[in-house]
A and B are shown apart, each in its own frame.
Chain A
Amino acid sequence: MLSFSFELLLESIVFGVLLGCFYAAVSIGLSVAFGLLDVPHVAHPAVMVFGAYCTYFLGRYGWDPIVAGLALMPVFFLLGMALYRFYYEAFEKRGAEAGVRGLAFFFGLTLIIEVGLILAFGVDQRMVEADYIGKSLAIGEMRIPFRMLVAFGVAVALTTGLTLYLSRTFTGRAIKAVAQDEPALRLMGANPVRIKQWAFGIATAVTALAGAMLIIVGPVEPSLDRVYIGRTFAVVVLAGLGSMTGTVAAGLILGISESIVLMQFGASWAPAVAFGLLLIVLGIRPQGLFGR
């Protein structure tokens, strides 16, 4: 079981890096929603799986998954704005006890999305077709599937884009300002709710593209979001809430450790890696690697 081979280790690290970037990309929406805006968005993975199914739906009409993912972004942006508005009106505005009930609300939402998908598409696994899915790139003995490379590319573009947006543009900086000190922003005469609404929209739009990648990387099923609750929250917490560079680093850590466990101990142990990592981080360093 523990037969150690250098090549196997190298292969698992390369695969882990690709996987890690993918994890960073699926977590980055949550990094904004939860990390910066403090919304307990447990439904984030469910929204992502919903995005994956939308991609699948468009794929049946001959849309390329990446194009479909991009096309879904504006729709999800509006969806996210509406969702935040609702959350704000129903919970944040009422203050103190928002925590417990907000969590329960997103938990219920997760369930509704999941069952909605089951009723619409059934419990079977779904996948999309494209030229780059199924083929792989051979480097020596190593075979790297193209779909992982595509996901890797999109992930890098997405993360860089969002990092630049948050640090360079006016609105992006406003979003960071909301995260740092909301009352101060209010005193400056800005409306934090509108900024947060905008930011939540962006987070949801990014999640749509992440969903498209999800279905490129592998087949999806309605209950897939349950595994990703652990993965995405592990990445965001490990990163230190709201840090974009941290999200990439944390994604890589998770990807590599999961891939090593996968190759050394087998697939049945892999799901526990994210949660184990999460518990360790929460126990030892709750502010994460790049905590604010």
Chain B
Amino acid sequence: MKARGAGFWIGAAVALGLAGFATGTIKNEYFFFAAYIVLMYVVLATAWNILGGYAGYVNFGTAAFFGVGAYTSVVLIQSIGAPLAVQILAAAAMSGLLGFGTGLLTLRLRGIFFAIATVALIVIMETVFINWRYVGGATGVQLLRPAPIAPFESYTKMLFVVMALMAVAAVAIARYIETSWIGRGLRAIRDSEEAAESCGVPTLRLKVFACTVSGALMGAAGAPMPMYLQFVEPASTFNLNYSIGALASAMVGGTAHWLGPVIGALLLSSIQQIVTVTISNEVNVLVVGVLLVVFVVGAPEGILGLLVRLRRRVAALVSR
């Protein structure tokens, strides 16, 4: 167990090292522009999986948490010109608060009712920000990037490294939850909430905790978005595509293990980035839909499940 823990941190350090190395060597700015989105989906999918994968509560509202995070940044930039780190922390706090409220909803809502309620969250939040003039209303707001901080020569590269740090942090949090008693409790809730409750699992506290952490991470992932795009408007910020991307990444990768959403997000968003550039934006959404349906029907355990099955088969062949 201890050795595996060390392996994880070495892996994380190597990933961060590679990200840092990339900023020094790769000259093409677009690479970082695209890689930022891929890493963002790693955060979103990992965050989604804490609630959806471990506890079995399907959250369609990723876009709501993401959008609240992004708009928290906008408010902070508009009012006090807060630096990026403050934006991220504040966004995580606001979305965490929203997650806390959503967690309380699980008291009464399960299954599809919870899922639909989270869709409702997106539309309500979008409507609020459409009608809030201070942050640009329906037409949106244009923002100017400050100069990048010392070692970085461009702001996009800096955002890329920030997102890489957040991705590692998100995965570490998800991994901690999964391996601790919290994860066991959440899995018990997924398998049978009544049974878990009667065995003394504090179901409500665990669900609220999972919702809050998941929401906070989604908000943090949304926080650098205004500076990344230099423009924010409600319709694209509260877009259902974020929800679909997060859910699909986790489902395609495999929801049982923290590595699943990471693999799923890396694969799915990389395909999406390539398809967007080479074919079109519509086909890119189609790819997500088709992959989601194919995996949900054909490989419910995701890519990880397939790998495990493959390994077993190889092991069986070797031992024979």
The reply on B113 being an interface residue by CB < 8 A is yes
| Interface size grouping (class) on chain B | 35 or more
Q: How far is the CB of A74 from chain B (nearest CB, A)?
A: 26
Chain B residues contacting A230 (CB-CB under 8 Å) are: 116, 119-120, 123
Known: A42-B115, A99-B56; 12 extra A-B contacts, CB below 8 A, are: A101-B296, A104-B292, A105-B293, A108-B293, A111-B292, A229-B116, A268-B127, A269-B127, A271-B123, A272-B127, A286-B109, A286-B113
Minimum CB–CB distance from B216 to chain A (whole Å) comes to 21
Q: Does A275 contact B (CB under 8 A)?
A: yes
> Is A219 on the interface with B (CB-CB < 8 A)?
no
Q: Indicate if the CB atoms of B288 and A268 lie closer than 8 Å.
A: no
B37-76, CB < 8 A from A: 52, 56, 58, 60
A83-113 with Cβ < 8 A to chain B: 90, 97, 99-101, 103-105, 107-112
A115 at interface, CB cutoff 8 A = yes
Query: Among residues 116 to 158 in chain B, which have CB atoms less than 8 Å away from a CB atom of chain A?
Result: 116-117, 119-121, 123-124, 126-128, 130-131, 138
Number of A-B contacts (CB under 8 A): 119
Q: Measured between alpha carbons, how far is A272 from B124 in the docked complex, in Å? A: 5
Residues in B with CB closer than 8 Å to A24 are: none
Q: A115-B286, A268-B131 are in contact. Are A107 and B120 (CB under 8 A)?
A: no
For the residues of A in contact with B, the DSSP-based class is helix
Q: Tell me whether A233 is interfacial, beta carbon within 8 Å.
A: yes
Query: Taking the nearest CB of chain A, how far is it from the CB of B317, in angstroms?
Result: 28
User: How far, in angstroms, from A150 to B56 measured CA to CA in the complex?
Assistant: 44
Q: A90-B297, A100-B52, A237-B113 known; A286 and B58 CB under 8 Å? A: no
Residues of chain A from 215 to 266 with CB closer than 8 A to chain B in the complex: 226-227, 229-230, 233, 237
**Chain A, residue nearest B191 (CB):** A96
- The answer to whether the Cβ of B89 comes within 8 Å of any Cβ in the partner chain is no
Most buried by A among B56, B58, B138, B247: B58
Question: Could you write out 8 A-B pairs with CB less than 8 Å apart?
Answer: A108-B248, A110-B289, A111-B289, A119-B286, A230-B120, A233-B119, A269-B131, A275-B120
Nearest CB in chain B to that of A110: its residue: B289
Contact residues in A for B7 (Cβ distance below 8 Å): none
Q: Are A103 and B58 in contact (CB under 8 A)?
A: yes
For the complex of A and B, list the 9 residue pairs with the smallest distance between their C-beta atoms, beginning with the closest. A111-B289, A275-B120, A108-B292, A272-B127, A108-B293, A115-B286, A40-B112, A112-B289, A275-B123
A99 touches B120 (CB 8 A): no
A97 to B251, CA, bound (A): 13
Tell me if B290 counts as interface (CB < 8 A to partner A): yes
Stretch at the interface among A59-67, A134-142, A189-197, A276-284: A276-284
For the complex, is A118 an interface residue (Cβ under 8 Å from B)? yes
The reply to whether A40 and B111 form a contact with Cβ atoms under 8 Å apart is yes
A226 to chain B: which residues have CB within 8 Å? 240
Complex CA gap A279/B113 in Å reads 10
Complex contacts, A100 vs chain B, CB 8 Å: 52, 56, 58
* B300 sits at the interface (CB 8 A): yes
CB distance from B141 to the nearest CB of A (A): 16
A residues in contact with B52, CB < 8 Å: 100
**A111/B286 in contact, CB under 8 A:** yes
A111 to B292, CA, bound (A): 10
A276 and B111 CA atoms in complex are apart in Å by 19
Report Cα–Cα, A27/B131, bound state, in Å: 28
- Which residue on B lies nearest to A122, using beta carbons? B282
Residues of A with C-beta under 8 A to B113: 237, 282, 286
B108 at the interface (CB under 8 A from A): yes
Q: Are B130 and A118 in contact (CB under 8 A)?
A: no
CB distance from B180 to the nearest CB of A (A): 23
A88 CB, nearest partner CB in chain B, Å: 12
Shortest distance from the beta carbon of A24 to any chain B beta carbon, whole Å: 18
| Most chain A beta-carbon neighbours within 10 Å: one of B109, B116, B128, B290 | B116
Question: Which of B124, B286, B289 contacts A276, CB < 8 Å?
Answer: B124
Chain B residues 182 to 230 lying within 8 A of chain A, measured CB to CB, are none
Q: Is the CB of B285 closer than 8 A to any CB of chain A?
A: yes
Q: Tell me whether A118 and B282 are in contact (CB under 8 A).
A: yes
State whether A278 touches B288 (Cβ < 8 A).
Answer: no
> Would you call B307 an interface residue if the criterion is a C-beta within 8 Å of the partner chain's C-beta atoms?
no
Q: Please tell me if the beta carbons of B120 and A112 are within 8 angstroms of each other in the complex.
A: no
Q: Which residues of A contact B120 (CB under 8 A)?
A: 230, 275-276, 278-279
- Which residues of the partner chain A approach B293 to less than 8 Å between Cβ atoms? 105, 108-109, 112
Within 8 A of B (CB), among A41-68: 42
Q: Which residues of chain A have C-beta atoms less than 8 A from B248's C-beta?
A: 104, 108
For B126, what are the chain A residues with a Cβ–Cβ distance below 8 Å? 271
